[in-house]
Structure 1
Amino acid sequence: MAKNKTTETAINVTDFINTYVDNDQKKEDSFQLIALLREWSGFEPKMWGPTIIGFGSYHYKYASGHEGDAPILGFSPRKAEFSLYVYSPTEENKPLLDDLGKFKMGKACIYVKKLSDINIDALEKICKATIAYLNENHECACREV
Protein backbone atom coordinates (compact mmCIF):
# COMPACT_ATOMS: atom_id res chain seq x y z
CA MET A 1 0.00 0.00 0.00
CA ALA A 2 1.29 3.49 -0.86
CA LYS A 3 2.50 5.67 1.97
CA ASN A 4 0.62 8.91 2.51
CA LYS A 5 2.87 11.82 1.41
CA THR A 6 0.96 14.43 3.36
CA THR A 7 2.10 13.88 6.93
CA GLU A 8 2.85 16.28 9.73
CA THR A 9 6.39 17.69 9.66
CA ALA A 10 8.57 19.71 12.04
CA ILE A 11 8.99 22.66 9.65
CA ASN A 12 8.25 26.02 11.28
CA VAL A 13 5.05 27.52 9.82
CA THR A 14 6.20 31.15 10.04
CA ASP A 15 9.53 30.32 8.41
CA PHE A 16 7.68 28.47 5.64
CA ILE A 17 5.44 31.46 4.87
CA ASN A 18 8.31 33.94 5.00
CA THR A 19 10.46 31.87 2.60
CA TYR A 20 7.86 30.23 0.33
CA VAL A 21 5.34 33.05 -0.18
CA ASP A 22 6.80 35.81 -2.37
CA ASN A 23 3.77 38.14 -2.47
CA ASP A 24 3.16 40.54 0.45
CA GLN A 25 -0.65 40.33 0.17
CA LYS A 26 -0.52 36.53 0.13
CA LYS A 27 1.75 36.60 3.22
CA GLU A 28 -0.68 38.88 5.03
CA ASP A 29 -3.62 36.67 4.01
CA SER A 30 -1.69 33.57 5.12
CA PHE A 31 -1.12 34.97 8.60
CA GLN A 32 -4.78 36.04 8.78
CA LEU A 33 -5.88 32.52 7.78
CA ILE A 34 -3.63 31.07 10.47
CA ALA A 35 -5.24 33.28 13.12
CA LEU A 36 -8.77 32.40 11.95
CA LEU A 37 -8.24 28.65 11.58
CA ARG A 38 -6.43 28.52 14.94
CA GLU A 39 -9.37 30.27 16.59
CA TRP A 40 -12.04 28.15 14.92
CA SER A 41 -10.29 24.79 15.35
CA GLY A 42 -8.60 25.33 18.72
CA PHE A 43 -5.35 23.88 17.32
CA GLU A 44 -1.95 25.37 16.60
CA PRO A 45 -0.76 25.38 12.97
CA LYS A 46 1.60 22.62 11.84
CA MET A 47 3.13 21.90 8.46
CA TRP A 48 1.75 18.86 6.62
CA GLY A 49 3.92 17.77 3.72
CA PRO A 50 5.97 20.50 2.07
CA THR A 51 3.28 23.18 1.59
CA ILE A 52 0.10 22.57 3.63
CA ILE A 53 -0.55 24.35 6.92
CA GLY A 54 -2.91 22.19 8.98
CA PHE A 55 -4.77 22.44 12.25
CA GLY A 56 -5.47 19.36 14.36
CA SER A 57 -5.83 15.93 12.78
CA TYR A 58 -8.26 13.13 12.13
CA HIS A 59 -7.87 9.52 11.05
CA TYR A 60 -9.64 8.33 7.89
CA LYS A 61 -10.12 4.86 6.45
CA TYR A 62 -11.54 4.21 2.99
CA ALA A 63 -13.44 1.12 1.87
CA SER A 64 -10.35 0.24 -0.22
CA GLY A 65 -8.42 -0.20 3.01
CA HIS A 66 -6.30 2.94 2.49
CA GLU A 67 -6.08 4.90 5.70
CA GLY A 68 -4.13 7.75 7.19
CA ASP A 69 -4.21 11.01 9.05
CA ALA A 70 -5.07 14.45 7.71
CA PRO A 71 -5.49 17.93 9.15
CA ILE A 72 -8.98 18.84 10.36
CA LEU A 73 -8.65 22.23 8.65
CA GLY A 74 -5.83 23.46 6.46
CA PHE A 75 -4.64 25.60 3.59
CA SER A 76 -1.76 26.02 1.21
CA PRO A 77 -0.62 29.42 -0.10
CA ARG A 78 0.09 28.19 -3.63
CA LYS A 79 1.51 30.52 -6.29
CA ALA A 80 -1.72 31.15 -8.21
CA GLU A 81 -4.22 30.93 -5.37
CA PHE A 82 -4.93 29.55 -1.92
CA SER A 83 -6.05 25.95 -1.60
CA LEU A 84 -8.39 25.77 1.38
CA TYR A 85 -8.89 22.32 2.91
CA VAL A 86 -11.87 23.26 5.03
CA TYR A 87 -14.94 21.73 3.37
CA SER A 88 -16.72 18.41 3.81
CA PRO A 89 -18.95 17.86 0.74
CA THR A 90 -22.22 16.77 2.32
CA GLU A 91 -25.75 17.67 1.26
CA GLU A 92 -26.13 19.73 4.45
CA ASN A 93 -22.93 21.69 3.76
CA LYS A 94 -23.51 22.55 0.08
CA PRO A 95 -25.74 25.59 0.85
CA LEU A 96 -22.92 27.09 2.94
CA LEU A 97 -20.96 27.72 -0.28
CA ASP A 98 -23.70 30.08 -1.55
CA ASP A 99 -22.49 32.94 0.66
CA LEU A 100 -18.74 32.33 0.34
CA GLY A 101 -18.03 34.76 -2.49
CA LYS A 102 -15.54 34.40 -5.35
CA PHE A 103 -13.99 30.89 -5.40
CA LYS A 104 -13.50 27.77 -7.49
CA MET A 105 -14.24 24.30 -6.21
CA GLY A 106 -11.76 21.48 -6.64
CA LYS A 107 -12.23 17.83 -5.79
CA ALA A 108 -10.94 18.24 -2.24
CA CYS A 109 -10.52 21.95 -1.76
CA ILE A 110 -11.76 25.47 -2.32
CA TYR A 111 -9.53 27.77 -4.39
CA VAL A 112 -9.47 31.51 -3.66
CA LYS A 113 -7.13 34.19 -5.01
CA LYS A 114 -7.22 36.40 -1.90
CA LEU A 115 -9.16 36.60 1.35
CA SER A 116 -10.88 39.83 0.35
CA ASP A 117 -12.69 37.81 -2.37
CA ILE A 118 -14.60 35.76 0.19
CA ASN A 119 -17.01 36.22 3.08
CA ILE A 120 -15.11 35.36 6.29
CA ASP A 121 -18.36 34.69 8.21
CA ALA A 122 -19.34 32.12 5.57
CA LEU A 123 -15.85 30.58 5.75
CA GLU A 124 -16.24 30.24 9.52
CA LYS A 125 -19.57 28.41 9.09
CA ILE A 126 -17.98 26.05 6.54
CA CYS A 127 -15.03 25.34 8.84
CA LYS A 128 -17.24 24.69 11.86
CA ALA A 129 -19.53 22.42 9.83
CA THR A 130 -16.48 20.46 8.69
CA ILE A 131 -15.20 20.10 12.26
CA ALA A 132 -18.64 18.81 13.31
CA TYR A 133 -18.76 16.37 10.37
CA LEU A 134 -15.27 15.01 11.06
CA ASN A 135 -16.01 14.70 14.77
CA GLU A 136 -19.11 12.67 13.99
CA ASN A 137 -17.65 10.46 11.25
CA HIS A 138 -13.94 9.91 12.02
CA GLU A 139 -11.47 9.39 14.84
CA CYS A 140 -10.86 13.06 15.39
CA ALA A 141 -8.67 15.15 17.67
CA CYS A 142 -11.50 17.71 17.52
CA ARG A 143 -13.32 15.66 20.18
CA GLU A 144 -10.69 16.85 22.63
CA VAL A 145 -11.39 20.56 21.95
Structure 2
Amino acid sequence: MAAKTTWTDADPVGFIEAVSPQKRRLDAVVLLELMRRVTGAEPRMFGTAIVGFGEYHYKYASGTEGDAPAAGFSPRKAASVVYLNDGISAHENLLARLGPHTNGVGCLYLKDLDAVDLEILEEIVRRSYATLTSGTYGNRAAEG
Protein backbone atom coordinates (compact mmCIF):
# COMPACT_ATOMS: atom_id res chain seq x y z
CA MET A 1 0.00 0.00 0.00
CA ALA A 2 1.55 3.32 -1.02
CA ALA A 3 1.04 6.55 0.90
CA LYS A 4 0.32 9.67 -1.15
CA THR A 5 3.03 12.34 -1.13
CA THR A 6 1.54 15.65 -0.10
CA TRP A 7 4.06 18.24 -1.29
CA THR A 8 2.30 21.45 -2.33
CA ASP A 9 3.20 24.52 -4.36
CA ALA A 10 2.49 26.85 -1.42
CA ASP A 11 5.22 29.35 -0.58
CA PRO A 12 7.02 28.42 2.69
CA VAL A 13 8.19 31.99 3.28
CA GLY A 14 4.66 33.30 2.82
CA PHE A 15 3.42 30.61 5.21
CA ILE A 16 5.97 31.67 7.85
CA GLU A 17 5.14 35.37 7.42
CA ALA A 18 1.53 34.57 8.36
CA VAL A 19 2.39 32.55 11.50
CA SER A 20 1.18 33.82 14.85
CA PRO A 21 2.02 34.44 17.58
CA GLN A 22 5.04 36.57 16.70
CA LYS A 23 7.43 34.47 18.85
CA ARG A 24 6.56 31.38 16.82
CA ARG A 25 7.07 33.32 13.59
CA LEU A 26 10.51 34.54 14.71
CA ASP A 27 11.50 31.01 15.75
CA ALA A 28 10.30 29.74 12.35
CA VAL A 29 12.65 32.14 10.57
CA VAL A 30 15.56 30.76 12.63
CA LEU A 31 14.53 27.16 11.89
CA LEU A 32 14.15 27.94 8.18
CA GLU A 33 17.74 29.18 7.97
CA LEU A 34 19.13 26.43 10.21
CA MET A 35 17.55 23.68 8.11
CA ARG A 36 18.55 25.33 4.83
CA ARG A 37 22.15 25.45 6.03
CA VAL A 38 22.19 21.89 7.39
CA THR A 39 20.44 20.20 4.47
CA GLY A 40 21.55 22.35 1.56
CA ALA A 41 17.94 22.07 0.34
CA GLU A 42 15.37 24.75 -0.32
CA PRO A 43 12.16 24.65 1.74
CA ARG A 44 8.92 23.25 0.34
CA MET A 45 5.53 22.93 1.95
CA PHE A 46 4.46 19.43 2.90
CA GLY A 47 0.73 19.53 3.49
CA THR A 48 -0.60 22.78 4.89
CA ALA A 49 1.65 23.35 7.92
CA ILE A 50 5.01 21.55 7.54
CA VAL A 51 8.04 23.27 6.05
CA GLY A 52 10.10 20.43 4.61
CA PHE A 53 13.65 20.08 3.31
CA GLY A 54 14.88 17.32 1.06
CA GLU A 55 13.03 14.07 0.75
CA TYR A 56 13.43 10.47 1.79
CA HIS A 57 11.71 7.29 0.73
CA TYR A 58 10.37 4.93 3.36
CA LYS A 59 9.13 1.39 3.04
CA TYR A 60 7.84 -0.48 6.06
CA ALA A 61 7.49 -4.22 6.57
CA SER A 62 3.70 -3.71 6.38
CA GLY A 63 4.10 -2.72 2.72
CA THR A 64 3.35 0.95 3.36
CA GLU A 65 5.73 3.19 1.48
CA GLY A 66 6.00 6.77 0.39
CA ASP A 67 8.06 9.93 0.43
CA ALA A 68 8.34 12.55 3.16
CA PRO A 69 10.53 15.48 4.10
CA ALA A 70 13.97 14.39 5.33
CA ALA A 71 13.96 17.40 7.67
CA GLY A 72 11.11 19.65 8.61
CA PHE A 73 9.32 21.77 11.14
CA SER A 74 5.93 23.22 11.87
CA PRO A 75 5.39 26.47 13.79
CA ARG A 76 2.38 25.71 15.98
CA LYS A 77 0.82 28.04 18.53
CA ALA A 78 2.05 26.12 21.59
CA ALA A 79 5.52 25.20 20.28
CA SER A 80 7.65 24.79 17.21
CA VAL A 81 7.73 21.16 16.16
CA VAL A 82 10.91 19.72 14.64
CA TYR A 83 10.30 16.39 12.91
CA LEU A 84 12.86 13.65 13.50
CA ASN A 85 11.47 10.79 11.47
CA ASP A 86 14.37 8.53 12.42
CA GLY A 87 13.04 8.66 15.99
CA ILE A 88 13.82 10.68 19.10
CA SER A 89 15.70 7.76 20.66
CA ALA A 90 18.41 8.09 18.00
CA HIS A 91 19.33 11.47 19.49
CA GLU A 92 19.08 10.90 23.26
CA ASN A 93 22.68 11.90 24.02
CA LEU A 94 22.30 15.25 22.22
CA LEU A 95 18.80 15.91 23.54
CA ALA A 96 20.18 15.72 27.08
CA ARG A 97 22.27 18.82 26.26
CA LEU A 98 19.75 20.67 24.06
CA GLY A 99 17.89 22.70 26.67
CA PRO A 100 14.16 22.92 27.44
CA HIS A 101 12.07 20.70 25.19
CA THR A 102 9.48 17.96 25.19
CA ASN A 103 9.13 15.21 22.66
CA GLY A 104 6.99 12.54 21.13
CA VAL A 105 8.18 9.48 19.21
CA GLY A 106 9.37 11.46 16.19
CA CYS A 107 8.69 15.06 17.20
CA LEU A 108 10.71 17.57 19.18
CA TYR A 109 8.66 20.39 20.72
CA LEU A 110 10.47 23.68 21.34
CA LYS A 111 8.64 26.55 23.04
CA ASP A 112 11.55 29.01 22.86
CA LEU A 113 14.51 28.67 20.51
CA ASP A 114 16.36 31.33 22.53
CA ALA A 115 16.49 28.84 25.42
CA VAL A 116 18.04 25.93 23.51
CA ASP A 117 21.55 25.32 22.21
CA LEU A 118 21.18 25.90 18.47
CA GLU A 119 24.48 24.14 17.72
CA ILE A 120 23.10 20.99 19.36
CA LEU A 121 19.82 21.37 17.47
CA GLU A 122 21.76 21.77 14.24
CA GLU A 123 23.70 18.56 14.93
CA ILE A 124 20.47 16.68 15.69
CA VAL A 125 18.92 17.82 12.41
CA ARG A 126 22.16 17.02 10.52
CA ARG A 127 22.30 13.45 11.89
CA SER A 128 18.63 12.80 11.29
CA TYR A 129 18.84 14.14 7.72
CA ALA A 130 21.92 11.99 6.99
CA THR A 131 20.19 8.87 8.32
CA LEU A 132 17.00 9.45 6.38
CA THR A 133 18.69 10.28 3.08
CA SER A 134 21.20 7.41 3.09
CA GLY A 135 18.78 5.09 1.23
CA THR A 136 15.28 3.71 1.64
CA TYR A 137 14.40 4.02 5.33
CA GLY A 138 12.66 0.98 6.75
CA ASN A 139 11.87 1.91 10.35
CA ARG A 140 9.03 3.92 11.78
CA ALA A 141 10.14 6.62 14.24
CA ALA A 142 9.09 4.35 17.12
CA GLU A 143 11.53 1.71 15.87
CA GLY A 144 14.40 4.18 15.31
TM-score bracket, normalised by the shorter chain, equals 0.7 to 0.9
Taking the aligned partners of 1:86 and 1:44, their CA distance within structure 2 comes to 18
| Match in the other structure for 1:76 | 74
8 Å contact kept, 1:87–1:127: no
Identity %: 41
User: Which residues in structure 2 correspond to 1:94-133 (within 5 Å)?
Assistant: 94-133=92-131
Q: Which amino acid aligns with 1:11?
A: A
**How many residues end up aligned between the 2 structures?**
137
**SS class of match (1:132):** helix
Instruction: Give me the whole-angstrom Cα distance separating, in 2, the residues matched to 1:88 and 1:101.
Output: 20
The whole-number CA distance in structure 2 between the counterparts of 1:90 and 1:115 is 18
Q: Aligned equivalents of 2:26 and 2:136: distance in 1?
A: 33
| Bigger RCO of structures 1 and 2 (CA < 8 A, at least 6 apart) | 2
Q: Quickly say closer, same or farther: Cα 1:17–1:91, change in 2 above 3 A.
A: closer
Point out where structure 1 has 5 or more consecutive residues left out of the alignment: 140-145
* Residues 70 and 85, structure 2, Cα contact 8 Å, conserved in 1: no
Which structure 2 segments of 5+ residues have no match?
Answer: 138-144
Q: TM-score, normalising length from structure 2? A: 0.86
CA contact (8 A) 1:10 1:46 kept: yes
Q: Structure 1 stretch 91-100 or stretch 7-16: which is displaced more?
A: 91-100
Q: Which runs of at least 4 in structure 1 moved beyond 4 Å after TM superposition?
A: none
1:136 to 121, 125, 134: 134
Structure 1 counterpart of 2:56, from 51, 55, 58? 58
Distance in 2 (alpha carbons) for counterparts of 1:43 and 1:22: 25
TM-score of the pair, normalised by structure 1? 0.85
Give the root-mean-square deviation of aligned CA atoms: 1.9
